[in-house]
Amino acid sequence: MTGGPAATLSRAVDVALDRTVAPGFTALGLGVRRRLPGWPADPRPGVLAGRHVAVTGASGGLGRRTVLDLAALGATVHLVVRDMAKGERVASEVRAAGSEARVWRCDVADLDAVRAFADAFVADGTPLRALVHNAGALPPTRTESPQGHELTQALHVLGPVLMTERLLPALAPEAGRVVLVTSGGMYTQRLAAHDPEYVRGEYSGSVAYARSKRGQVELLPTLAERWAPHGVTVHATHPGWARTAGLDASLPTFSRALRPVLRSDAAGADTTVWVVATEPTPPGGRLWHDRRPRPTHVLGRTRPRPVDVEDHLRWVLGATGLDG
């Protein structure tokens, strides 16, 4: 959006939708933005032909839709899932539409499983255009991963960082793009560098989820710098409020109350697909929502001190064994 009264008005409407949260995160927000001057163009048809993209949590919800929409742009999609049967059902949809798909088993919260999957993928010799970290969960009670880490942190932070590091040999030849699918809930939380494993206080699944998503976003600049020598960019995408089976199960009251204005799965996956497929590569190290870079904080109280970010990174590298 550059130049002229129309562009100025467009920017003002876009920012207003963003800052008021509810309208911007709903189907209304995307519907309005699509009609504003300067809306970024769709990726061209077939742009991903001959390219490979891996998506975690691909057996349902936004992961499934992301896979289907990337395949429609020509990508060979790799579904990284816990349940092979569910993954194969989605892969069958892809193949029925004339595209190629392969299913890999991996529990992203299990760091040993992440290492095994990544090593097998690299050994397979497939170059990756993009790696989409979509797998997610919102447990009602405090749950630990096989390595003893709080589940949301293991699934949303530790597993994705470790997986990306191990897949750098596959991503580097393609100047790969890494996408962390985050959540607007992170706007309510500050970085829990003092208690990343959530061992203090009364546990709340929704707070733990938002804390882990905040952790993803605070790592963006550091991860961008860490992976830049490999030619790999990292991005976070916020899908808005999209209706999925996962949302219905984890936040049923929220889902029922907002059902008339929740986004479709395709609308929720739109920016993730756009970041993967658009040319040229969007600037890395940023949070994206509705195809625009967005601020990572709307409340001053959530801004971390530099030392908190350093402590968080130190914990992530130590927990994943990458500090060695």
CA distance 251 to 13: 29
Confirm if 161 and 322 have CB atoms less than 8 A apart: yes
DSSP 144-189: B-TTS-BHHHIIIIIHHHHHHHHHHHHHGGGT-EEEEE--GGGGG-
Active site residue 187: no
CA distance 83 to 269: 21
Confirm if 216 and 236 have CB atoms less than 8 A apart: yes
Longest CA span, the chain: 56
Confirm if 44 and 273 have CB atoms less than 8 A apart: no
Burial class (CB in 10 A: 0-12, 13-18, 19+), 203: middle
310 is written with which tokens? 């350093």
CA distance 307 to 185: 23
241: DSSP letter: S
Quick one: three-class SS letters along 187-236?
HHCCCCCCCCCCCCCCCCHHHHHHHHHHHHHHHHHHHHHHHHHHCCEEEE
Burial class (CB in 10 A: 0-12, 13-18, 19+), 254: middle
Q: How far is CA 17 from CA 10, 112, 155, 176, 184, in A?
A: 11, 42, 30, 31, 13
Question: Of 187, 198, 203, 209, which is the active-site residue?
Answer: 209
**Peptide bond before residue 5 is cis, with ω within 30 degrees of 0:** no
Active site residues: 209
